[in-house]
């Protein structure tokens, strides 16, 4: 079976969730809270108590943004590849029902254990 890579995001670093609250507040429902955020210069991944929100910053000015919301219940499975001696990045792959694979690469020294706990707790 051929896997469709929907998104491949490289160089993610953890950031402060409060910095992005105003960016996604219009998407959030009652009692939904921001848990963790990871970002590159053009992408932001926001984990909430209900879903994962992917934000892609488009264009030269960054004013155009695309938002993709994925409920944890849509995650069929996930895998993790830890950083090795010669590989500095950790990788997480998410298989999303009726969508494809999201491949996330995290910058050196980024602690991905909290992310894995959130995904595991909410997708099982």
Contact 73, 123 (CB under 8 A): yes
Q: Establish how many alpha carbons lie within 13 A of residue 59's alpha carbon, considering only the half-sphere containing its beta carbon.
A: 6
**Would you place residue 89 in the very low, low, confident or very high pLDDT band (cuts 50, 70, 90)?**
confident
Q: What is the dihedral of CA 105, 109, 110, 111, to 10 degrees?
A: 120
pLDDT, position 24: 95
Range with lowest mean pLDDT among 11-25, 45-59, 76-90, 105-119: 76-90
For residue 104, pLDDT over 90 is answered with yes
For residue 1, pLDDT over 60 is answered with no
Write down all domains in the chain, each with its CATH number in brackets: 5-123 (2.30.29.50)
**Would you place residue 124 in the very low, low, confident or very high pLDDT band (cuts 50, 70, 90)?**
confident
């Amino acid at each position: 079976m051929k896997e469709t890579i929907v998104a491949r995001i490289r160089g993610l670093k953890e950031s402060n969730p409060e910095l992005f609250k105003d960016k996604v507040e219009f998407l959030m429902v009652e009692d939904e809270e921001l848990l963790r955020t990871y970002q590159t210069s053009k992408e932001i991944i926001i984990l909430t108590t209900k879903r994962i929100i992917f934000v892609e910053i488009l264009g030269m000015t960054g004013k155009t943004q695309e938002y993709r919301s994925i409920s944890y219940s849509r995650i069929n499975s996930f895998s993790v590849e830890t950083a090795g001696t010669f590989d500095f990045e950790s990788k997480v792959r998410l298989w999303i029902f009726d969508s494809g694979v999201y491949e996330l690469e995290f910058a050196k020294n980024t602690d991905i254990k909290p992310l894995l706990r959130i995904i595991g707790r909410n997708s099982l």
